[in-house]
Amino acid sequence: MTTDEIVARLSVIATAILVFAVYSAFGQGKSELPSKDEVKVLLRRAAEQTDLRATGSSAFHLLLKAKSFAGNGQIVEGIYELWWGGSDHWRSRVQWADSAETDVADNNRIWRQGDDTHLLESRRLLHILDFPARLKSSAEAAEAKVRKVKSGDLYGHPVVCAEIPFDSPIKISSLPSERTICLESMSGLPLRLDIGSSQLDLGEYMAFSQKRFPKTLRLTHDGKTIMVVEVESLDEFDSTKPSVFAVPVGAVSSPWCSDLVEPRPTRLGGPSQLPIPPPPNSVALPLDIDIKKFSLILFRVAETGTVQDVRAFIPGGEVLLKDKEKSALLKSTFRPATCNGNAIEAEFPMEFHFPIF
Rounded distance, CA 213 to CA 51, Å?
8
DSSP-derived 3-state class of residue 122: helix
**pLDDT band at residue 146 under the 50/70/90 scheme:** confident
Instruction: Give me the half-sphere count of Cα atoms (radius 13 Å) on the Cβ side of residue 75.
Output: 7
Give yes or no for residue 174 having a pLDDT over 80: no
Distance CA 158, CA 335 (A): 48
Nearest to 129 by CA among 94, 104, 165: 94
Sign for the pseudo-dihedral over CA of 152, 157, 160, 162: negative
Helices (H), the chain: 3-27, 36-50, 119-129, 131-142, 323-329
| Burial status of residue 334 (CB atoms within 10 A of its CB: 0-12, 13-18, 19 or more) | buried
Give the span between the Cα atoms of 324 and 282, in whole angstroms.
24
Contacts of 115 (CB under 8 A, 6+ apart): 99, 101
CA gap 232, 339 in Å, rounded: 35
For the cut 60, the answer to whether the pLDDT of residue 261 exceeds it is yes
Q: Kindly give, in sequence order, each residue whose CB lies less than 8 Å from that of residue 58, ignoring residues fewer than 6 positions away.
A: 208, 209, 210, 236
Which one-letter DSSP state was computed for residue 291?
A: G
184-240 residue pLDDT tens: 999 999 999 998 889 999 999 999 999 999 999 999 998 999 999 999 999 999 888
Q: Which pLDDT belongs to residue 240? A: 85
Range in 32-41, 87-96, 248-257, 330-339 the model is least confident about:
32-41
Lowest mean pLDDT among 6-10, 35-39, 140-144, 339-343: 6-10
Identify the band that residue 24 occupies on the pLDDT scale cut at 50, 70 and 90.
Answer: very low
Higher model confidence: residue 133 or residue 276?
A: 133
Bridge-partner residues for 77, per DSSP?
67
Higher per-residue confidence, 9 vs 90: 90
- Which CATH architecture group holds 33-146+192-258? Clam (2.50)
| Spatial separation of the C-alpha atoms in residues 11 and 9, rounded to whole Å | 5
Q: What is the dihedral of CA 24, 29, 30, 34, to 10 degrees?
A: 80
Nearest to 247 by CA among 50, 114, 79: 114
Host H or E run for residue 225: strand 224-236
pLDDT in the model for residue 320:
94
Q: What pLDDT does 97 receive?
A: 86
* The total number of residues written for the chain in this structure: 357
The pLDDT mean for the chain works out to: 85
* 84 pLDDT above the threshold of 90: yes
- Residue 344: half-sphere exposure toward Cβ, Cα within 13 Å: 19
3-class SS of residue 48: helix
Alpha carbons 106 and 86: distance in angstroms, whole number = 9
Contact 337, 299 (CB under 8 A): no
For residue 1, pLDDT beyond 50: no
Confidence of residue 272 (pLDDT cuts 50, 70, 90): low
Residue bearing the bigger pLDDT, 29 or 335 = 335
Check residue 190 and give its pLDDT: 98
Please, which pLDDT band fits residue 115 given cuts at 50, 70 and 90? very high
pLDDT reading at 278 higher than 70: no
- Residue with the bigger pLDDT between 35 and 305: it is 305
Res 28 pLDDT > 50: no
In whole angstroms, give the CA distance from residue 80 to residue 125.
9
Q: Is 329 helix (H, G, I), strand (E, B) or coil?
A: helix
pLDDT of residue 175: 61
The Cα 222–Cα 351 span in angstroms is: 19
DSSP code of 356? -
Q: SS3 helix, strand, coil % of the chain, rounded to 5?
A: 20, 40, 40
The residue ranges of every structural domain in the chain are: 1-32, 33-146+192-258, 264-351
